[in-house]
Structures are given as C-alpha cells and as structure tokens.
Amino acid sequence: MELRNKADYRTLFWVFVLTPGVVIAQFANPELVPYLWWVSCYFALSCGVIAHNHNHCGTFKGKDANQAFGSWLSIFYGYPTFGWIPTHNNNHHKFTNAPGDATITWRHTNRHSFWVAITYPFVSSYYQGFLIAEYAAKAKERGGKAWSNIKMQRAVWIGGHVIALSIAVALHGVKTGLYVWGLSMLVPALFALWTIMLFNYEQHVHTDPYSEHDHSRSFVSWSLNFLLFNNGYHTVHHEHPGTHWSEAPRLHAEITDKIDPVLQQRSLWWYWFRQYFLAAMLPSLGSKQIGTAPMDPPPGTAELAEAAS
C-alpha cells in the first residue's frame, strides 16, 4: 500500500485515526455525543473531500489498495465513492455548469438566493442519480472488475453502518444505541453529502462556464484549504483535474492574476454572510453573473449544447 504522494500521510491520519476515533469515543461514552457529533460532521465532510480527490488521483499506487480505500471512505462519507465517477469525473468536468452538466446551478433559475442554495443539493442529487444508475447498470452488464468494485463498495457502505448500529445497540440498548449511531455516523454522513453539493453550487453559481479561467469560484483561505485538503482552489482543479490536491496552491498562484478577483474569495463565511444576509437587504452586495450566462452559449459553442441534448 504505497502512497503516490507523501502529503497523503495526513489524509491517512484523518481517515484511519481521527475520523473513526471520534466515532469510537462517542460509542464508548454516549455523554460525549452532544459535544462531538458536530466534530464527526466535519470529519465526514473531510472524507467526502478526500473521496473526491481520491477519484481524480488515486491515493495509492496499487489498484486494490485504492479500491479498498474508496470502500472505507464510503462508510463515513455516506455513499459509495464510485458515484463520483459518472457524476463528477465524467460529467461535471466535461460540461462545467454548461448545458449537459447534471449538477448545473441554474436548472430552474439563475438567481443566487439562500433558498436556491439550500435546496440545490436535493435537486442536484436527483439528477445525478440517473447517471449513477446508468453507470452501475452498464458495469453490471459488462461484469468484471468494475462491477465487483461497485458491489464491494455498496456492501461495505451498508454493512459498515449495520455493524456500527448493531454495536451501538448491543452496548447501550435500542434507544441510546440509535441515538449514538444516528448522531455520530448517520447525521454526519447526510451532512457531508449535502455540504459537498452545496460547495459545488457556491463554486459555480454566476461563473462563466465558457471562460478560460472564470468558470469557477475559488475560496483561498489557508485554514479552509488546510481543513478541506485544498478543495477551495476550484479553478485550477478544473484545469488540472488529475493533479494531486497538494499542488493546487502552487497552480493557483500561477494564474491568480488571470482570474476575476470576485471569483477569488478570501473567506467562505464572509461570502455566505454577505450573499445570504446583507444582500437580502442590499441586493447590490450579492453576486453578479460573470461573463456569459451558462444557459446562453456564446457564438462558436453551439455544438456543446447540441451534444448535451
């Protein structure tokens, strides 16, 4: 199980020590749940980000090790990690919020409001579901390693939660066991799935999918990118999707002067406060469409819309 990049020693520490460690602490002592469940939410989210990075650039050099790692992440992230392949790797990176992208931010409206943002993950997950089902069906028809990996991830994902719930009930009885498992594992997994999709919305709403560098919004805070393994550097991620996550700050620095400044936010929290609180009273403080709106392809890109139909 040899790592591709030494930076992933921190990844392994997050995934194999801290994430399960916080859960184990709550299973061992339910009195800690009110204090630690939100910490588990963070670690579940970090597992989602790591799963995203892992699907673009395998953590290990060996295929079997990468498959096993993806299965382990599925337990805490809340969904089999193979789902990233048809929805994100093969679709979102191909269309980048333009027609054809299952995760478009403008499906029903291009307004950027609190209501649109918080409901976007539910709409996005619905349309992503078709891609996942189609991908799994084709893998099943072909058989072989791909289908075996999908079955393994599903089994580990469901089995992991069944085993965890069984342990919690055995230790603390049905009522307390459900409480412990629900707040330390189920709620964090649901939080991770919802938040990952919310991040996708924030990184693309009102950006220009037809621009060379203004197709994504980046959040360049050092603390955010430390905690989320450089997930904030979204522009360079789209331009270099197979590059290891540790290279993102360097790549971003090389093109920062070519990106519209409003698409390089220092603070995610300030961005949210300004967009969903201050802009509700002063609309001029809200985000504005950069360049060409995604539903209005510029001249020369008609074939993109045709391919998406």
State the average pLDDT over residues 95-110: 94
The DSSP bridge partners found for residue 264 are 218
Question: What is d(CA 67, CA 71) in angstroms, rounded to the nearest whole number?
Answer: 6
State the average pLDDT over residues 165-171: 98
State the average pLDDT over residues 115-130: 96
Mean pLDDT (the chain, rounded): 94
Residue type, 244: H
Q: Would you say residue 266 has pLDDT above 60?
A: yes
DSSP assignments along the chain, one per residue: --BS-TTHHHHHHIIIIIHHHHHHHHHH-GGGHHHHHHHHHHHHHHHHHHHHHHHHS-SBSSHHHHHHHHHHHHHHHSS-GGGHIIIIIIIIHHHTTSTT-TT-TTSS-----HHHHHHHHHHHHHHHHHHHHHHHHHHHHH-HHHHHHHHHHHHHHHHHHHHHHHHHHHHHHHHHHHHHHIIIIIHHHHHHHHHHHHHHHHHHTT--TTSSS-SS-EE--HHHHHHTTTTT-HHHHHHSTTS-GGGHHHHHHHHGGGS-GGGEES-HHHHHHIIIIIHHH-GGGS----SS-TTSPPTT-HHHHHHH-
Q: Are 221 and 137 in contact (CB under 8 A)?
A: no
84-95 pLDDT, tens digit per residue, is: 999 999 999 999
Q: Are 34 and 48 in contact (CB under 8 A)?
A: no
287-309 pLDDT, tens digit per residue, is: 999 998 888 877 665 554 555 44
- The whole-model pTM stands at 0.93
Q: Would you say residue 242 has pLDDT above 90?
A: yes
